[in-house]
Each structure stands twice: as structure tokens, then as C-alpha cells.
Structure 1
Amino acid sequence: MADRLTQLQDAVDQLATQFLASVHFVNKHHELKTLSPKDSIRDTKKDDDGAPQEVDPLPADQFKAGQTELAQDLIVKEQQIEYLISMLPGLENSENDQEKRMKELEEELKVAEEERQQALKEKEEVLTKLEGIIRSIKRP
């Protein structure tokens, strides 16, 4: 599993992608309307080079449902980011607290290393005894 900062970066990248997808959806499927009485809407199904039109309006209910779904996805991703941020060590942990915790962890690591070294010694002793026993056994 990735560390918290990597997860946070991935979530922020995904949120940016979702923002772009939302803007693209709204830009592609909005309803064509005039902003002032002097404005007019061109009726172009295809561009001069045969490319499809830039705006493909959806019915109002489908457009609204799409917007709602995209907004919910953005909210969920934002909540995931907030959760990941809350899991990071930060403002509630002062520098002294973090140094103290690091020293405690170093001590635990030293103890664990001593236990490992002792276990290795015991293993070698047992192997030596076993080897001696095996060598002392004579075939009938």
C-alpha cells in the first residue's frame, strides 16, 4: 500500500481529472441560449471541414442528472482528500512531539534488533547441537 502522501497526491490528481471531466461535460452538453437580444445561435450541425458540432445539447433532465452525478463524485473525492489530510501528522503534533516519538521508535527498533541477534545466536547453537547429534549417530 502506498504511503499517505502518495495516496493524497493520487487523490488530488483524480480530483483535477474529475474537474476537467465536469467542465467538459457542461461545455459539451449545455443548452444553447442567447445572452442578449442581439445574440443569435448559429444552426451548424457540422463544421466546414465535416467535424461534428462542438455542442451536443442534452434534454434538461438528463443534463441536470449528469451535473448532479458529477457534483456527487466531486464531493466524495473531496471527502477522501480531507480524510487523507486528517491522517497526516501535522499541526496537532509539535516538532518536539515528533522527535520524542522518533526516539521511542528508535529504542523499540534497538530492542527488536537485540532480540533478533539473540534469536540468531540461539539458532546457531541449536544447529551446532543438532549437527553434533546427527554426526554421533552411527549406522547399524
Structure 2
Amino acid sequence: MADILTQLQDAVDQLANQFVASIYYVHKHHDLQTLSKTDTVRQQQKNEGEDPGDRNVDPYPADVFKDGQKELAQDLILKEQQIEYLISILPGLENNEKDQEQTIQQLEEELKIAEEERKEAVKEKEAVLARLDTVLRSVKRP
């Protein structure tokens, strides 16, 4: 079960990273457009010696931008489905509290039986060791 939980945690972490990457992609590569007539697009002034990679927005052509969005959305959906699958195979989700209590009681009974068997085996081992000790003491050197 711990393995499934580890996989689930990793998948959730990866999904969070994919969300951040998706937001960054949209923020970095959207087309500068106004949403209403009162909106304006601010033009950044380029300073000499400024790295072109430091600009806030690097718009992609509309078709490239849409393809990128589609790919990111598909990746998010795929990761979400993986998380749902991992959750569905976690043990105990199909059992209610009463069923789980019955299972615990059954396991406790099995544990008591196994403990009694262990105690019997220990007694038998001690008896065999005592007999072996007696046999070894009775053996004489020629």
C-alpha cells in the first residue's frame, strides 16, 4: 500500500508542476490583445544591454499557441486520470466501517491462533533440545 501512496503523492506533485508550467506557458506566450475598448497594451521600453529573454511576454503565433495549450491540457487530463486510477486501487475504499471492523477482528483471531502455534513450536523446540542434550551427555568417548 505504501508503494501506491508514494505513487499517488508523486503524481499529485507532478500535476501541481504541470499546472504551474501551463500557467507559465499561457502567461509567457499569449498574444497581446485588448479585451475592451478602454484597455491598452503597454509597450515595454528596451534598455540597451537588456537580454531579450527578460521580456515579460513572447507571443507565439495563434496556431502554435493553441497547439501548445491543447498539448498541455491533454497532459493535465492524462495525469488526472492516473491519479484517479491510483485512488481507485487503494485498499479499503469499497469497504464500510463495519466491514473493516469485522476484517480486523478476523485478523486478530488469526493472530491469536498463530501465536498459540508459535508457543507450541517453542515448547517442542525446547523439548527436542533437552533430549538432544541428554543424548549428547550419554555418549562416551571410546
Q: Is TM (by shorter chain) over 0.5?
A: yes
Secondary structure in 2 matching 1:74: helix
Larger displacement relative to structure 2 (35-44 or 13-22)? 35-44
Q: CA deviation at 1:27?
A: 0.9
Residue 24 of structure 1 pairs with residue 19 of structure 2 = no
Aligned counterpart, 1:95 = 97
Aligned counterpart, 1:71 = 73
Unpaired stretches in structure 2, ≥5 consecutive residues: none
Q: CA deviation at 1:83?
A: 1.8
User: Which TM-score applies when normalising by structure 1?
Assistant: 0.69
Q: Taking CA–CA contacts closer than 8 Å with sequence separation of 6 or more, which of the two structures ends up with the larger relative contact order?
A: 2
* Identical residues among aligned pairs (%): 63
Aligned counterpart, 1:12 = 12
Task: Quote the Cα distance in structure 1 between the aligned partners of 2:46 and 2:130.
Answer: 86
Q: CA, structure 1 residues 137+49, in 2 after alignment: closer, same or farther (shift >3 Å)?
A: farther
Task: Quote the Cα distance in structure 2 between the aligned partners of 1:128 and 1:70.
Answer: 73
Task: Quote the Cα distance in structure 2 between the aligned partners of 1:126 and 1:32.
Answer: 88
Q: Which amino acid aligns with 2:121?
A: A
Aligned counterpart, 1:2 = 2
**Cα-Cα RMSD:** 3.4
Q: Which amino acid aligns with 2:118?
A: R
**C-alpha offsets along residues 93-113 of structure 1, whole Å, 9 cap, x if unaligned?**
222112111111111222222
Q: CA, structure 1 residues 40+130, in 2 after alignment: closer, same or farther (shift >3 Å)?
A: same
Determine if contact 1:47/1:53 at 8 Å carries over to the other structure.
Answer: no
Task: Quote the Cα distance in structure 2 between the aligned partners of 1:6 and 1:38.
Answer: 51
Aligned counterpart, 2:87 = 85
The one of 93, 117, 120 aligned to 2:119: 117
Q: CA deviation at 1:56?
A: 1.8
Q: CA, structure 1 residues 40+128, in 2 after alignment: closer, same or farther (shift >3 Å)?
A: same
Secondary structure in 2 matching 1:93: coil
Determine if contact 1:29/1:63 at 8 Å carries over to the other structure.
Answer: yes
Secondary structure in 1 matching 2:2: coil
Q: CA deviation at 1:73?
A: 2.1
User: Which TM-score applies when normalising by structure 2?
Assistant: 0.68
Task: Quote the Cα distance in structure 1 between the aligned partners of 2:125 and 2:64.
Answer: 70
Unpaired stretches in structure 1, ≥5 consecutive residues: none
Task: Quote the Cα distance in structure 2 between the aligned partners of 1:123 and 1:31.
Answer: 81
**C-alpha offsets along residues 56-89 of structure 1, whole Å, 9 cap, x if unaligned?**
2234444334323322221122112212332342
